[in-house]
Amino acid sequence: MLGNSRFAVGLHALALASIAQEMRKGKPVTSNAIAAMVGVHPVHVRRVMGSLREAGLVESQSGPTGGWELARDPKEITLYDIYLALESDLPFEMPARPPDACCRFAPFLPQALAGAMESAKRALHEHLSNVTLDQVLASMEKCSPRNGVESALMTFDIPY
Amino acid sequence: MLGNSRFAVGLHALALASIAQEMRKGKPVTSNAIAAMVGVHPVHVRRVMGSLREAGLVESQSGPTGGWELARDPKEITLYDIYLALESDLPFEMPARPPDACCRFAPFLPQALAGAMESAKRALHEHLSNVTLDQVLASMEKCSPRNGVESALMTFDIPY
DNA sequence: TAAATCGTAACTAAGATGGTTACGGTTCTT
DNA sequence: AAGAACCGTAACCATCTTAGTTACGATTTA
């Protein structure tokens, strides 16, 4: 586990924003709608989306008719972009140890360990930066009957 | 970050046990020694090592001359073995949402999201299961001058 | 002006993490 | 047999993270 749900929430929200953008031009998705659909608190959504906005992935608008919109083409948003916007670091960070607690018999071991952690991060980075939001959405269409998506769109306007 | 230090601590401890095994046949490493070298509390070390023992990676012995030893050849211990022994799951789990909070406009989206998470886990799994403890130790020798390791071994018996 | 939205601070509850102490069980040495 | 050096584990605690909740202000639309 990641310890938190920011990545999953952010990915879900971006997917919703992307679908909404395609289906209801000009009407952004609100935090409340995202929150209800993702199953978390609207304030939590705004916090996550705030990070995504800082990263330039979404834009927000106040007022009625306001909400969240993608700031980029879904083809140009990778899972790594999302991860980086929402988490301080990839997993497999070496925890910083107090200097005097350093391994006393070999300063080379921590270095080798850090190398192993780094290579895990690299592998992950490589994968995440090769999957786009667009691809995730495409996989949704693949695993659902066409009419399933159609009818789903009909209920997109239900009030939350 | 992983949220905790169990993986790093366990990897460090296993590396120490492996080196000790090679250098001081029959004299296992104690929790206290590991704790001092890794920079954490001895009880924390025993907790982590306990999980590694459950996974069959190490064995422990009580009494004076007791301590921790590898239960397997370092060539037969992968980073994935270690990770799995110490963490409940790889990162990128989809958080379980309450059923009635499920995305109401498309049950297919969560499915697609889960697919993206799964593929990240798969990529990570593949990498971790292809790196052995042996390789990590070998990389230590590579990045240190030979006499560095030699002199390091001299101080391995300092009391903690 | 009223309503709907984002922006954010503040507070809280719950859980994770790891340090610390304590005590019992093993095993070796003498 | 005694004592010392280990591991095993429970119990307790402080700290941090996470996310829910409330509240209030700013913005924008109708």
The secondary structure of chain B as a DSSP string is: --SSSHHHHHHHHHHHHHHHHHHSTT-PBPHHHHHHHHTS-HHHHHHHHHHHHHTTSEEEE-STT-EEEESS-GGG-BHHHHHHHHSSS-S-PPPPPPGGGS-SS-THHHHHHHHHHHHHHHHHHHHHTT-BHHHHHHHHHHTS-HHHHHHHHHGGG---
Q: Does the pLDDT value for residue B147 go beyond 50?
A: no
Q: Does the pLDDT value for residue B121 go beyond 80?
A: yes
**Closest nucleotide over all strands to A49 (CA to C1'):** C6
Question: Which residues, listed in sequence order, are joined to residue A67 by a DSSP beta bridge?
Answer: A61
Number of A/B CB contacts below 8 angstroms equals: 184
Mean pLDDT lowest for which of A51-55, A101-105, A136-140, B109-113? Answer: A101-105
| pLDDT (0 to 100) of residue B3 | 80
Cα separation, B13 vs B18, in Å, equals 9
Percent of chain A predicted with pLDDT > 90: 62
- Its pTM stands at 0.89
Q: Which nucleotides of D are covered by protein (CB under 7 A)?
A: 3-11, 17-23, 26-30
Classify each residue of B76-89 as buried b or exposed e, where b means 16 or more C-beta atoms within 10 Å of its C-beta: ebbbbbbbbbbbee
Cβ-contact A102, B4 below 8 angstroms: no
Cα separation, A149 vs A140, in Å, equals 9
pLDDT higher at A143 or A42: A42
Confidence of residue B93 (pLDDT cuts 50, 70, 90): confident
Q: Does the pLDDT value for residue B144 go beyond 90?
A: no
H/E stretch holding B117: helix B108-128
Contacts of B14 (CB under 8 A, 6+ apart): B52, B57, B58, B70, B74, B77, B82, B133
pLDDT higher at B99 or B19: B19
| pLDDT (0 to 100) of residue B26 | 73
B16 touches chain A (CB under 8 A): yes
Q: Does the pLDDT value for residue B157 go beyond 80?
A: no
Give me the mean pLDDT over the A77-91 stretch: 95
| CB within 7 A of strand D (chain A, 3-42) | 3-6, 40-41
Q: Which of A67-81, A100-114, B91-105 has the highest average model confidence (pLDDT)?
A: A67-81
pLDDT higher at A106 or B74: B74
Confidence of residue A2 (pLDDT cuts 50, 70, 90): confident
Question: Which residues, listed in sequence order, are joined to residue A78 by a DSSP beta bridge?
Answer: A132
Chain-centre distance for alpha carbon B53: 12
Chain-centre distance for alpha carbon B89: 13
A96 touches chain B (CB under 8 A): no
Cα separation, A19 vs B106, in Å, equals 11
CA distance A17 to chain B (A): 12
Mean of the per-residue pLDDT values for chain A?
85
Confidence of residue A25 (pLDDT cuts 50, 70, 90): confident
Mean pLDDT lowest for which of A15-24, A118-127, B39-48, B124-133? Answer: A15-24
